[in-house]
Amino acid sequence: MASFVQGALSALARRPDLDVAAYALTFRGRGGLAAQVPTGVRAASRPMAARLLRALWRRTDHPVIERWTGPVDVAHGTNFVAPPARAAATVVTVHDLTPVRFPELSTPDTRQYPGLLARALRRGAFVHTPSAAVAAEVVELLGVPAERVVAVHHGVPPVAAGDPVVGRRLAGAERYVLALGTIEPRKDLPSLLAAFDAVAAALPDLRLVVAGPDGWGTSAFEDALARTAHRGRVVRLGWVEDPERGALLHGAWAYAYPSLYEGFGFPPLEAMAAGVPVVATTAGALPEVLGDAARMVEPGDVDALAAALLRLDDAGERTALVQRGHRRVAAFSWDDCAAGLVALYRRAMASS
């Protein structure tokens, strides 16, 4: 979500026809907002206690966002939570419907989102989604009129320059499959461990590198790792800073994204931008976003995931995926995203 906000804000701030203000639902972080927003964006730095405000907004239409931003034409809630407004039109971004479709894969905090969304929709909010797949789900599962739901694709976050040699040093191998992100059930890393186990004998020099902070799926990952026959070839790096992240991406032999559900999917696009072939699932919006630039398998199909990884041992397969990946990444632009959002803002203003 942070990648979307940073990319969209930067592109919106470049437009001469807009005056952009940013707010953040945070109390402790209020002092740091001004330093994080792009040049040309005003920061509303008065304290906004997230937990308290979400509790109030589930039940009431106060306090209004203008209390922090001053008069605005459109208030955009960029992460499921749309603040009430005194006079502004309202847009809310719904990145995916995990709390509705897969509540068992959601945290207690994110399971609050449907109630907050329902109230915002009753106030007349328009919905932005990052993909047509999520837009269709919002219409079907939340009953929002289709004319109030607009899909606007994200851009691709810039990938930090990285030395492949450093990435391979971190991995401890010349060839490694990389998975990046917080350890959580939706990412289905246990299936990736099982698939790696299935190909490890055929590719004896290959390692699996899992980089990202612990999350609420860590115990299931650790249990699966303990059952992995080739666990000595699995490298768990934890959180990595941007330079190391860039090095790992540029040095990877392949990028694996075995997700059970996605509303967009930044990491495989970042891997494509780094020139790395991608294996991903057909979950959620991934077919729409990745197109023919990734080798796709059904979610949870360990045998298919293993077979897709084995296919990457073919030089022609790798070259074709890398070429298609570069073309796919070029199709996503933050300026195009900003243009789509501005069109949505104008529609919301005209409606209100």
**Mean pLDDT throughout 144-163?**
95
What's the alpha-carbon Rg for the chain, to the nearest Å?
21
Co-location of 107 and 138 in the same domain = yes
Co-location of 131 and 11 in the same domain = yes
**Mean pLDDT throughout 14-22?**
95
Co-location of 138 and 24 in the same domain = yes
Co-location of 111 and 16 in the same domain = yes
Co-location of 319 and 175 in the same domain = yes
**Mean pLDDT throughout 165-172?**
97
- The pLDDT value recorded for residue 213 is 95
pLDDT surpassing 70 at residue 135: yes
Co-location of 105 and 196 in the same domain = no
Co-location of 60 and 74 in the same domain = yes
> Per residue in 97-130, pLDDT tens?
999 999 998 888 889 898 989 999 999 999 999 9
Co-location of 131 and 188 in the same domain = no
Co-location of 78 and 220 in the same domain = no
- CATH code of the domain in which 11 resides: 3.40.50.2000
Co-location of 311 and 347 in the same domain = no
**Residue 172 — pLDDT band, cuts 50, 70, 90?**
very high
**Residue 185 — pLDDT band, cuts 50, 70, 90?**
very high
The reply to whether the predicted model has a pTM over 0.85 is yes
Range of the domain at 95: 2-155+333-351
Domain count, the chain: 2
- The pLDDT value recorded for residue 217 is 84
Quote the mean pLDDT of the chain: 94
pLDDT surpassing 60 at residue 1: no
Co-location of 326 and 337 in the same domain = no
